[in-house]
Structure 1
Amino acid sequence: MKACRTTISVLSVACLLTLSGCASIVGNSQYPVAVKSTPVGASFTIKNRSGEVVHTGTTPGTVTLKSGSGYFKGEAYTVTFHKDGYADTTTRLSSSMSGWYWGNILFGGLIGMLIVDPLTGAMFKLPDSSSGDLGAPVMAKNTGQDLTMLTIDQVPADQRLKLIRVN
């Protein structure tokens, strides 16, 4: 009786290990990503590999994104930051291979390595954050009134008579 229970337990564990993926068990297929910008308060749009908008928000914020895009295909995102008075900036957010995926060699077996983890996207991971630097504020559009600075030697002689001393 005890040998039967032990055999059933061992077989159950063996089945679980061969029918599951290590990265699917230990890792995730969706990751929280902190989205930051300099300056704060910028709006952002995240598009996936297909160009579909998957999230919009305002910095700072956190969004949960899928790490996989299909069978054996990691997801890649484009994050575009916008704030009035600043030039828009775009950054890429790409998935990379999860270290837990290689745990299939020891624990998950071929089914986990070739089927479960690639299908669920758990074989990939995403970075913890994405940030965009919008740089310095952009000057207002030209209103047609330009300022040109010249030294006194560059001013024509007839115009020098119209100059007014300010100091």
Structure 2
Amino acid sequence: MKTFLTATLMTASLALTGCASIMSGSTQTLTFKSVPDTANIVITNKLGEKIHTGSTPATVTLKRGNGYFKPASYDVTFSKEGYQQKTVDVTAKMNGWYIANIVFGGLVGFLIVDPATGAMYSLSPNDVNTLLEISNTESNKMQNNQNLTVMLIDEVPKDMLARVQFIKQI
């Protein structure tokens, strides 16, 4: 009887959960970095509500879904005095574990659990790295002064790295 009860409880728990809920969860942790660092960030949802305010670098946990079969979407605004403001979109895409419900026979997870919890989605991009451009007024001031910025290659955002020209490698 004890074995039957244990088997029944395990079967019920597997049948009433979704693959994406088990493997990924309903929230996702994202990292936000900027060059220069210590830029202010404001994260707002689709409705324009502020979800998070802080400064870079930051690690924030966001919900993947925005209701039943509704993916979440966020606007992340970076700002710093002397630099142009920049906004990056973070959007939800289908999570691969959600499709695993079909393979493993989790109809309840496929139609109810994962869509209701938002676990059927993954937020993209996972790591948000942005380069803030110097504002025109700061640029005019800096034209009179010659400046050189030295950075470690690991600190350069990927989108900026494509434009980098190496002078000399040691």
Scaled by the length of structure 2, the TM-score of the pair is 0.74
Structure 1 alignment gaps of length 5 or more:
143-167
Pairs within 5 Å for 1:62-77: 62-77=59-74
Give the match's secondary structure for 2:28: strand
AA matched with 1:86: Y
- 1:43 equivalent in structure 2: 40
Give the match's secondary structure for 1:71: coil
* 1:42–1:58 CA contact under 8 A, matched in 2: yes
AA matched with 2:111: L
CA distance in 2, matches of 1:140, 1:42: 16
Percent identity over the alignment is 45
CA distance in 1, matches of 2:29, 2:90: 12
- 2:88 equivalent in structure 1: 91
- 1:129 equivalent in structure 2: 127
CA distance in 2, matches of 1:68, 1:62: 19
Bigger-Rg structure (1/2): 1
Which string of whole-angstrom CA distances, capped at 9 and with x for unpartnered residues, describes residues 48-97 of structure 1?
A: 11110100110111111111011011101001111101111111001111
1:58 to 51, 55, 60: 55
- 1:23 equivalent in structure 2: 20
AA matched with 1:130: V
- 1:11 equivalent in structure 2: 8
Pairs within 5 Å for 1:80-119: 80-107=77-104, 109-119=106-116
Query: Residues 108 and 54 (structure 1 numbering): CA distance in 2 closer, same or farther, change over 3 Å?
Result: farther
CA distance in 1, matches of 2:133, 2:65: 32
Corresponding residue pairs, total: 139
Structure 2 alignment gaps of length 5 or more:
141-170
Deviation of 1:11 after TM superposition, in Å, equals 3.0
Aligned alpha-carbon RMSD (Å) = 2.0
AA matched with 1:133: L
AA matched with 1:106: V
Deviation of 1:108 after TM superposition, in Å, equals 5.5
